[in-house]
Structure 1
Amino acid sequence: MFATTTAFRPLALSLAALGALSLGSMPAAAQTTAAVSAESNADMGMTVTRVPVKLSDLNLMTVQGRAVADRRVRAAARQACGIGIGKVTLDQAQDQRNCFSVATRQGKVQVALAREQVLAAR
């Protein structure tokens, strides 16, 4: 289910970590799949790592559902930004932290949009 890269490459992350919301013609309660993405400049060849975040099994109207969605977004951001995949330089670690910050912020926006869509469908 998760898109992954095979190895962490030396990165100068461009920090254009983007969330993308995929809303199909499903019932309102199931209209929620977000994705966390991170773009990196791996030796000047752009690499995009995209990690889907399943939300359709969550009730985003509850505190518990939103808490689970937040944990999933954070886990996807760690994966997309290459956090925890081998040793990195101090600069790369800072790039990863910046990437994580942007990716989680965008992921949370996507969760909020999904919640608004469910509310609007009521």
Structure 2
Amino acid sequence: MMNTASLKGVSANPIKANHILGKDKVVRIAVKNDYIAGPNLIPQRKVNGKWETIKTITPNSFNPGEKLFVEFSIKESLSNKKGNYRFKMDAERYDKQGNHVEKVGTFYTSEFHIK
């Protein structure tokens, strides 16, 4: 596994750095949540040296103390394109009733590649 990106008790990173277009169907992200926070995964692709956000539906159902894998389809979520990618993570804090309290911050996962 690559280095883990984290912020305020939420951590995430792709399971592997290189994916093969046509062979790998998904990018798996390991996510760990240590408190009442909802990490929002936002895929980004590097285009001409700048990170561009990819508009896609992202899962956002994490409970405190939970560790899980989130899968993004290379075809549907990442437009089946070769290139360099990462995920922007917005960590959001919620109360025990599930109401949004505040955005705690943003961090980025390790870069990964689709070849």
Shorter-chain TM range is 0.3 to 0.5
Q: TM-score, normalised by structure 1?
A: 0.39
| Max Rg structure | 1
Q: TM-score, normalised by structure 2?
A: 0.40
Relative to its length, the structure with more strand (as a share) is 2
